[in-house]
Structure 1
Amino acid sequence: MELTAPVIPRRKAMADKVSDILSPPVLLVATLGILVGRDGSDYCLLAAVYFVVCSGVLPLLALWHLCRKGVANKHLDEPESRILAFGWALLGTILGVSGLLTWSGMPRLFVVFAIAYALVLAVLFLASAVWRYRRLRYGPAAQAWKISIHGGGVGMLAGVAAALYPSLPVIASGLMLCAVMVVARVVNENHSPLQVVSGALTAGGIHCAALMFYAAP
């Protein structure tokens, strides 16, 4: 019996391609250029290091461990993808609230506190992924990417309001976020686990870019 490769619908293939192009690593490079090149201050460097750790290193470590233990294959199983999406959605939501409070008049001190708090949550999330904390598999985790979108969007709008003028990098990042979510949710109705994780990472990363760009002295 001859085996044939599954046929991928054209719309799904296009959705996957757009999601790959607008993935968090691409936004990571662009954001680092904005943060480090703005004024060279230690605060911007701290923001850059924070962004690398939270949006790059920690999720890769968690994914590597899950794959090494056979918990997830290279495309991730559905429960494990929910763990990742739920953890990063929490970070995106917390950072979004911090952006809103930054706009209300507590710029530097509160943002530094929010960074430290988010890092603690990131470590706890990584530990839960390593030890397969199964309570995160079900319930609200299924809708975690929606929480992440709200958190990232609130933070981005707060950063724009705090600066009182529009910025091309932030507007471009917002358009990228909209494009990713439209493709993953509308064009490809049965979005893959990788797209869910990508959406959570992208929302948190875009918020971090907007908040740090405007909050830095």
Structure 2
Amino acid sequence: MKKALITTVAFVSLAACEDPNASFPTFFQEAGAVADAHGDFGAATANNIAIQNGDKSYTISLAKRFADEVNSTVNFEFNSAVLDDSARATLRQQAQWIAQFPEVRFRVYGHTDAVGSQAYNKRLGLRRARAAVSYLVSQGIDRSRLEAVASFGETQPVIVTQDRERRNRRTVTEVSGFVQAHPNILDGKYAAVIYREYIASAVPIPTGAVPSIAKDGG
């Protein structure tokens, strides 16, 4: 028994000598390895390398950024393709984002709820997509960069129901590709966008914008 115990200790010691990280991880691993418990350390660098190597699509990256930064969906009243105030406000926000990337194309997909025939709903969804595209054009976006080419009708609901459902009556704007098959977007125009965002981020908050502590409840 004692001999077996000694052998086990010797084996563990030998393994530790062969792998110094097992005993001294903070000394032998790269800087930040211990703090990077979730694998986020260096994510920007990894993303850039993936883009340069072609492992990550520019279109996918921009599509994710668009979805993260802008509300991509507008909703409609029942059996209507009319844009209400909320829809127009969302489309103005989309137009501001789209204007920053003149080399990028977008598609607008129209959807309906399940009330009505499939053929009618397909036409209605396309009318909604065209209404959204027309409004984006009115906000200064080149029509050649916008496509209302697909209407899913009632086939892709957000909420699965046969009843009227506002969340299903919608259009969704998505990045679809690049004008003239741009190999990448790291050109002068994109650099100007980054520079503008950088300058805007450095503007100090006005003193008067700091809210005072309210004395009364409400």
Asked if TM exceeds 0.5, the reply is no
Q: TM-score range by the shorter chain?
A: under 0.3
**Normalization by structure 2: what TM-score?**
0.23
Higher helix proportion: 1
Higher strand proportion: 2
**Normalization by structure 1: what TM-score?**
0.24
Q: Rg larger in 1 or in 2? A: 2
* Bigger relative CO (Cα 8 Å, ≥ 6 apart): 1
